[in-house]
């Protein structure tokens, strides 16, 4: 035990009612330790001592990542009693000592406590004590004496409002408050409404100013009050204030307890009845005895994520981390994939930058490691190095856990490295995973990388390494920089290095650094040298050649002076470059990598003032323009360029063009400034929501069973929406239908939209069908070609009308988003089609077109996968979900699709203000997701009579009796029963109206029974007209799990038309069962038809029918829905 104690160190530096802070470490170990917080010897909680503190680092405490901060679940009384609270390093018995300063403070608090009302026990007393707590200390001047002009104070921040008071000269009251010198806001210090009961000072001189979310970062800031009339600064305490993070404390504190959000030190000071000292971040200010050099300094913290720490892509991330270390406390993090070696890439393994990594092999280990690592990282900003799955996943998690901006760094076009260079949409990704789950378990496979490119647009800011990438992705350029202090030609002895490698002053050395390969233009150089045959020119290749064919090719040169050297230590890089007279960077311009990549050796050469010969590829275009290097436009340019080199004077010591360009463009100084700027910009341009990342997280959850946080940042429902009143003026209704068959069958969704509009409570209906790809639209038309029983043609026609806006009426707008089928540009209906990802833009456009001032209602018939994106853009006053059926039970869907469907139901039902469905089984099926679903069954239309309605021409030539069925001919239809009906009435006709797509047995059935007539898909009104000519309308449905969760609408339609009805006994027909013929089996079904035809079946009088219809009509259903809705919102 003693041994364990000696191996650890740390101090408890701060205690308040609300939190405890300090640092703890294992001596000589960079890994963070866990500490346990004990209250009255019982473990209250545990926290990792893994917060980076520059002061600890500066004083030699490992890498500085050893601080901890623990918020008590509820305020701790008597926290000042030393024996009350202890902190122990987990598993060691090492209890942290308190600093001398902390002991002083606690003792002072202890002695002052009896004078506070903190020990009041009754509920009333507690409330009074809270109020008194505010007045105590800070308001002491106001309560014990009259505050004098020029005095003021800050009470603290509560519910994102800063409270304080100020008394100005000449009874003025207008003030402004600055935070870190910048104006937070103006206010009238004439009494705070919220805190008027706290005391007379707050009632007379109080003010409150909203605090923007951007300041709620948990950072201590300088704060001051000024007289707005003349800028005189008001003497106020404290001069610094901790601006708590939005989520640091619950926003449930009452107005009588705003001091809870004050800096805890101010609370102690109030309790001490002493003048308020400058509030400080005590965790870094109170110095533990063994580390006296700790300075009260808190640097910004930055996390840089590499997608793999085990191989060279980490190089760029390391560079950014290194760049940032001067102004930030930086941590380099990422997985080490076993595939790439499983250990930190050797060139960076021994650097001083703090690093955290975890081993990963597959998706499971990546996601698990990412969640664990990200939850530990504390930072003010995160940079994602390269848009790959692992880095983006970790970056987005860190962004979420720290509420900080995420910057994506792009230094290559990642798709240059994969076979298919087009980005993959989310749908393509899902399909790919379903097609090959094993392959998609590899986080760095091509499909993931292709998808990740689409996530770049959700970064808060983008940085790129060259102009070609900026042209593609936008963002700020942060070059492949080098530290001007070490990459300085004056530091190296050029002659000595040249001598070492066998070159004299008269030689002109062309350096090739790196693994020689044909596509790098190495043989262009060799060929040119061979032709020139100039002994002064020498090609120096530094890089081990492992390919024997390359070696053989080099050996074939007889005149060219070529020397091959093995790999050299990384540290020698500047020295080696410095010996050269020219560095050649020849690339194949047609190679996809060359299209977007700048080789780092360009920077190295410029830094050391070595002239560069380079192929002009897009990433170098701006540099060619600035004459930074000698451009090679074609292989023929190489020879003359080398000939000029042979004749050139030796390199002088004066600063040349290369070094100048380096200092102004590629140096650490310049690029650090750019990086800082990008970080600052990112903080100002936070994206409110990350819908694509949200989809990704849900997908990864399904794949790995590891829970990932929700990233939607939508404000809570009550904040977003005002209550809706029965007396509200009409609003627009955005209606999301899950399919593309609206206005064809007179479905429930069509009816609800139609009758809601009729109520006059809805101003306009904007009806949105599911997004559709051009290929799918064409497929609809193609499939229905020559097949009248296929709905495709009607879908096609309707969709085209919706796209061309010819289906609109002034109050009913119909839209469908048509997108391109793949990544390639595509035109349809005379317009360029956007990609699937452009749907949110389409919704924005629709909203703009609507020009609506009132927040609309959002009506959604799940499952609608785009619901979230639409809701976030529409910002509805209320969300209503109407469940038509249960898609989770649909046969034939893959498991991943089923999970996606279930996820979508969960989201919609949780967010909706009111949820409806058409029958009890559906309500029961979703009760676990939403217990308060209201059942409103389907309805019937009150149809006007019109002449000739009973003699539709379509039926004129069919022998009677005509027994008909209208509805989709799906697997819920009992085709055996249909056939039995047809066979029983061989001289009559069985008419089937509806889509038979995907049901090959339907045409076969019609072929077997010539008296079965397929009339194909008919639009709703047409179908209504035809069914009036039926002698019997039948519903031969099977009883299945699916039909158990349906309220068959066709029954209502039959009833509204007024034809006799025979149906099988399926679920959810209770409304109409008393008025129709319900058959328990096939025999009774046939018997019921016979009864109806004989005039003995169940049939209601026209008068009774009208009465029943009144009760079951869509008008009454929609009125019922509206009542529920107003009650719910």
Using the minimum distance from each CB to another protein, give the nearer residue, 674 or 754: 674
Per rule CB under 8 A, is residue 636 in the interface with another protein?
A: no
Distance between CA 59 and CA 67 in Å, rounded? Answer: 13
Say if CB 24 and CB 96 are below 8 A apart: yes
For 186, the 3-state DSSP assignment is strand
Torsion of CA 319, 320, 321, 323, to 10 degrees: 90
Per rule CB under 8 A, is residue 971 in the interface with another protein?
A: no
We find the least distance from the C-beta atom of residue 836 to another protein, in angstroms, to be 28
Distance between CA 957 and CA 450 in Å, rounded? Answer: 59
Site string for another protein, 186-205 (x = CB under 8 A): x-------------------
> Which region among 316-324, 658-666, 777-785, 953-961 touches another protein (by CB under 8 A)?
658-666
Among 107, 493, 633, 924, binds another protein (CB under 8 A): 633
> Which region among 19-27, 343-351, 659-667, 1092-1100 touches another protein (by CB under 8 A)?
659-667
> Which region among 229-237, 299-307, 750-758, 797-805 touches another protein (by CB under 8 A)?
229-237
Among 37, 228, 696, 1023, binds another protein (CB under 8 A): 228
Among 148, 346, 533, 625, binds another protein (CB under 8 A): 625
Distance between CA 254 and CA 159 in Å, rounded? Answer: 10
Apex 901 CA angle, 924 and 691, nearest 5: 125
Neighbouring-strand partners of residue 86: 38
Distance between CA 178 and CA 972 in Å, rounded? Answer: 70
Reduced 3-state DSSP string for 288-341? CCCCCCCCCCCCEEEEEEECCCCCCCHHHHHHHHHHHCCCEEEEEEEEEEHHHC
Ramachandran area for residue 1112 (φ above 0: left; ψ -120 to 50: alpha; else beta): alpha
- Total Cβ atoms within 10 A of residue 421: 16
Among 19, 470, 930, 1050, binds another protein (CB under 8 A): 470
Among 60, 114, 231, 716, binds another protein (CB under 8 A): 231
Among 197, 505, 547, 660, binds another protein (CB under 8 A): 660
Per rule CB under 8 A, is residue 1040 in the interface with another protein?
A: no
> Which region among 532-540, 617-625, 711-719, 863-871 touches another protein (by CB under 8 A)?
617-625
Distance between CA 82 and CA 85 in Å, rounded? Answer: 6
Among 46, 93, 182, 213, binds another protein (CB under 8 A): 182
- Scanning residues 555 to 584, which ones bind another protein (CB under 8 A)? none
Among 34, 248, 534, 630, binds another protein (CB under 8 A): 630
Give the number of residues in contact with another protein, rule: CB under 8 A: 40
**Selection from 715, 706, 631, 655 nearest residue 911 by Cα:** 715
Per rule CB under 8 A, is residue 673 in the interface with another protein?
A: yes
Per rule CB under 8 A, is residue 169 in the interface with another protein?
A: no
Per rule CB under 8 A, is residue 209 in the interface with another protein?
A: no
We find the least distance from the C-beta atom of residue 681 to another protein, in angstroms, to be 9
For 107, the 3-state DSSP assignment is helix
Per rule CB under 8 A, is residue 628 in the interface with another protein?
A: yes
**Selection from 245, 239, 246 nearest residue 269 by Cα:** 239
We find the least distance from the C-beta atom of residue 868 to another protein, in angstroms, to be 32
Among 4, 103, 295, 626, binds another protein (CB under 8 A): 626
Reduced 3-state DSSP string for 278-293? CCCCHHHHCCCCCCCC
Using the minimum distance from each CB to another protein, give the nearer residue, 181 or 891: 181
We find the least distance from the C-beta atom of residue 228 to another protein, in angstroms, to be 7
Both tokens of 956, joined, read 């004129």
We find the least distance from the C-beta atom of residue 465 to another protein, in angstroms, to be 11
- Scanning residues 674 to 733, which ones bind another protein (CB under 8 A)? 674, 677
Say if CB 1071 and CB 937 are below 8 A apart: yes
Distance between CA 559 and CA 1086 in Å, rounded? Answer: 102
Among 664, 685, 809, 811, binds another protein (CB under 8 A): 664
DSSP result, 660-717? HHIIIIIBHHHHHHHHHHHHHHHHHS--S--HHHHHHHHHHHHHH---------PPPH
Among 38, 190, 477, 902, binds another protein (CB under 8 A): 477
We find the least distance from the C-beta atom of residue 621 to another protein, in angstroms, to be 5
Per rule CB under 8 A, is residue 230 in the interface with another protein?
A: yes
Please state at what angle helix 975-984 crosses helix 1001-1008, rounded to 10 degrees. Answer: 10
> Which region among 514-522, 630-638, 704-712, 891-899 touches another protein (by CB under 8 A)?
630-638
Per rule CB under 8 A, is residue 483 in the interface with another protein?
A: no
Q: Tell me, what DSSP letter sits at residue 724?
A: P
Distance between CA 884 and CA 747 in Å, rounded? Answer: 10
Distance between CA 915 and CA 812 in Å, rounded? Answer: 23
Per rule CB under 8 A, is residue 181 in the interface with another protein?
A: yes
Using the minimum distance from each CB to another protein, give the nearer residue, 255 or 477: 477
Among 115, 169, 180, 854, binds another protein (CB under 8 A): 180
Per rule CB under 8 A, is residue 652 in the interface with another protein?
A: no
We find the least distance from the C-beta atom of residue 673 to another protein, in angstroms, to be 5
> Which region among 177-185, 433-441, 902-910, 1084-1092 touches another protein (by CB under 8 A)?
177-185
We find the least distance from the C-beta atom of residue 492 to another protein, in angstroms, to be 21
Contacts of 419-424 spanning 24+ positions with Cβ under 8 A: 419/446, 420/446, 420/450, 421/592, 422/450, 422/822, 422/823, 422/824, 423/450, 423/451, 423/453, 423/454, 423/823, 424/450, 424/451, 424/454
**Selection from 142, 256, 147 nearest residue 197 by Cα:** 256
Whether the ω angle into residue 238 lies within 30 degrees of 0, i.e. cis, is yes
**Selection from 1082, 1065, 1081 nearest residue 1073 by Cα:** 1065
Using the minimum distance from each CB to another protein, give the nearer residue, 614 or 870: 614
> Which region among 81-89, 441-449, 625-633, 970-978 touches another protein (by CB under 8 A)?
625-633
Site string for another protein, 311-330 (x = CB under 8 A): --------------------
Per rule CB under 8 A, is residue 661 in the interface with another protein?
A: yes
Distance between CA 746 and CA 1019 in Å, rounded? Answer: 8
Per rule CB under 8 A, is residue 233 in the interface with another protein?
A: yes
Using the minimum distance from each CB to another protein, give the nearer residue, 226 or 812: 226
Distance between CA 772 and CA 448 in Å, rounded? Answer: 24
For 384, the 3-state DSSP assignment is strand
Site string for another protein, 412-451 (x = CB under 8 A): ----------------------------------------
Q: Catalog residues that contact another protein under the rule CB under 8 A.
A: 176, 178, 180-183, 186, 224, 226, 228-233, 467, 470, 476-477, 616, 621-622, 624-628, 630-631, 633, 637, 655, 660-661, 664-665, 669, 673-674, 677
């Amino acid at each position: 035990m003693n041994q364990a104690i000696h191996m650890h160190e740390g101090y408890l530096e701060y205690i308040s009612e609300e939190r405890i802070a300090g640092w703890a470490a294992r001596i000589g170990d960079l890994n963070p330790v866990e500490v346990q917080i004990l209250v009255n010897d019982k473990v209250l909680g545990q926290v990792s001592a893994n917060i980076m503190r520059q002061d600890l680092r500066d004083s030699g405490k490992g890498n500085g990542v050893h601080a901890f901060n623990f918020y008590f679940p509820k305020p701790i009384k008597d926290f000042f009693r030393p024996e009350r609270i202890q902190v122990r390093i987990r598993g060691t018995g090492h209890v942290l000592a308190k600093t001398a300063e902390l002991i002083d403070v606690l003792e002072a608090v202890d002695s002052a406590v009896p004078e506070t009302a903190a020990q009041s026990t009754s509920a009333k007393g507690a409330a009074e004590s809270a109020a008194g707590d505010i007045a105590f200390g800070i308001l002491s001047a106001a309560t014990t004496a009259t505050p004098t002009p020029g005095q003021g104070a800050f009470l603290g921040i509560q519910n994102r409002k800063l409270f304080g008071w100020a008394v100005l000269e000449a009874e003025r009251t207008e003030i402004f408050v600055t935070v870190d010198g910048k104006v937070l806001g103006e206010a009238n210090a004439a009494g705070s409404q919220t805190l008027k009961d706290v005391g007379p000072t707050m009632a007379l001189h109080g003010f409150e100013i909203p605090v923007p979310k951007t300041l709620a970062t948990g950072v201590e800031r300088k704060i001051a009050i000024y007289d707005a009339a003349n800028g005189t600064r008001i003497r106020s305490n404290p001069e610094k204030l901790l601006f708590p993070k939005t989520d640091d404390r619950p926003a449930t504190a009452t107005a009588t307890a705003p001091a809870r959000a004050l800096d805890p030190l101010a609370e102690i000071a109030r309790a001490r009845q002493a003048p308020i000292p400058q509030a400080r971040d005590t965790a870094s200010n109170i110095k533990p005895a063994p580390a006296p050099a700790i300075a009260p300094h808190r640097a910004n913290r930055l996390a840089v994520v590499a997608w793999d720490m085990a191989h060279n892509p980490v190089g760029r991330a390391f560079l950014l981390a290194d760049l940032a270390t001067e102004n930030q406390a930086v941590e380099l993090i990422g997985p080490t994939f076993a595939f790439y070696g499983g250990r930190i890439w050797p060139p960076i393994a021994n650097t001083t930058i703090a690093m955290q990594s975890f081993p990963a092999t597959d998706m499971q280990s990546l996601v698990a490691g990412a969640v664990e690592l990200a939850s530990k990282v504390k930072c003010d900003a995160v940079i994602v190095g390269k848009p790959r799955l692992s880095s983006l996943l970790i970056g987005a998690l860190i962004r979420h856990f720290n509420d900080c901006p995420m910057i994506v760094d792009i230094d290559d076009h990642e798709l240059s490295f994969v076979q298919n260079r087009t980005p993959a949409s989310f749908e393509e990704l899902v399909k790919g995973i379903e097609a090959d789950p094993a392959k998609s378990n590899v986080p760095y496979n091509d499909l993931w990388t292709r998808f990740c490119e689409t996530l770049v647009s959700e970064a808060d800011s983008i940085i790129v390494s060259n102009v070609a990438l900026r042209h593609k992705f936008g963002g700020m350029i942060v070059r492949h920089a080098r530290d001007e202090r070490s990459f300085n030609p004056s530091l190296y002895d050029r002659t000595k290095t040249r001598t070492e490698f066998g070159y004299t002053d008269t030689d002109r050395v062309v350096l090739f650094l790196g693994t020689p390969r044909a596509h790098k233009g190495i043989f262009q150089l060799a060929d040119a040298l061979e032709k020139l045959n100039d002994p002064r020119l020498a090609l120096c290749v530094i890089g081990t050649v492992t390919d024997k064919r390359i070696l053989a090719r080099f050996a074939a040169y007889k005149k060219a002076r070529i020397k091959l050297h093995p790999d050299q230590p990384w540290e020698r890089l500047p020295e080696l470059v410095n010996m050269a007279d020219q560095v050649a960077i020849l690339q194949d311009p047609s190679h996809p990598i060359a299209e977007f990549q700048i080789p780092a050796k360009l920077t190295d050469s410029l830094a050391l003032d070595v002239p560069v010969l380079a192929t002009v590829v897009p990433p170098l275009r701006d540099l060619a323009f600035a004459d930074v290097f000698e451009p090679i436009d074609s292989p023929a340019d190489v020879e003359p360029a080398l000939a000029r080199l042979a004749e050139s004077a030796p390199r002088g010591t004066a600063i040349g063009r290369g070094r100048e360009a380096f200092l102004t463009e590629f140096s650490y100084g310049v690029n650090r400034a750019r990086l800082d700027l990008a970080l600052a910009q990112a903080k100002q341009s936070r994206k409110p929501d990350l819908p694509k990342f949200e989809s990704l997280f849900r997908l990864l959850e399904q794949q790995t069973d590891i829970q990932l946080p929700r990233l939607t940042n939508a404000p809570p429902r009550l904040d977003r929406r005002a209550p809706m009143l029965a007396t509200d003026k009409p609003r627009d209704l955005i209606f999301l239908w899950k399919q593309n068959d609206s206005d064809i069958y007179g479905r429930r969704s069509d009816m609800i939209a139609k009758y809601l509009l009729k109520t006059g409570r809805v101003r306009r209906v904007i009806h949105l069908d599911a997004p559709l790809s051009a290929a799918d639209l064409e497929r609809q038309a193609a499939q229905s070609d020559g097949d009248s029983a296929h709905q495709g043609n009607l879908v096609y026609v309707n969709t085209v009308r919706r796209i061309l806006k010819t289906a609109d009426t002034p109050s009913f707008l119909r839209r469908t988003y048509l997108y391109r089928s793949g990544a390639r540009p595509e035109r349809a209906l005379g317009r360029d089609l956007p990609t699937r990802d452009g749907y949110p833009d389409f919704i924005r456009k629709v909203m703009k077109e609507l020009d609506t001032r009132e927040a609309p209602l959002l009506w959604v018939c799940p499952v609608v996968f785009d619901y979230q994106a639409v809701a976030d853009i529409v910002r509805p006053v209320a969300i209503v979900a109407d469940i038509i059926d249960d898609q989770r039970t649909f046969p034939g869907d893959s498991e991943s699709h089923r999970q996606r469907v279930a996820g979508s139901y969960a989201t919609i039902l949780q967010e909706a203000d009111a949820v409806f469905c058409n029958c009890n089984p559906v309500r029961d099926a979703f009760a676990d997701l939403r217990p308060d679903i209201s059942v409103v069954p389907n309805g019937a239309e009150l149809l006007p009579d019109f002449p000739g309605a009973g003699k539709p021409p379509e039926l004129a030539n069919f022998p009677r009796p005509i027994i008909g069925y209208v509805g989709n001919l799906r697997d819920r239809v009992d085709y055996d029963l249909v056939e039995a009906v047809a066979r029983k009435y061989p001289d009559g006709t069985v008419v089937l109206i509806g889509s038979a797509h995907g049901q090959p047995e339907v045409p076969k059935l019609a072929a077997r029974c010539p008296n079965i007539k397929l009339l194909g898909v008919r639009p709703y009104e047409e179908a209504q007209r035809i069914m009036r000519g039926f002698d019997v309308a039948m519903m031969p449905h099977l009883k299945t799990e699916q039909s158990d969760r349906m309220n068959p609408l066709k029954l209502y339609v039959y009833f509204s038309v007024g034809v006799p009805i025979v149906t099988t006994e399926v679920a959810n027909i209770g409304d109409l069962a008393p008025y129709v013929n319900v058959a328990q089996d096939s025999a009774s079904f046939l018997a019921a038809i016979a009864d109806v035809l004989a005039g003995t079946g169940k049939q209601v009088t026209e008068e009774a029918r009208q009465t029943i219809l009144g009760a079951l009509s869509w008008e009454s259903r929609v009125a019922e829905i509206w009542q529920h809705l107003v009650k719910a919102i």
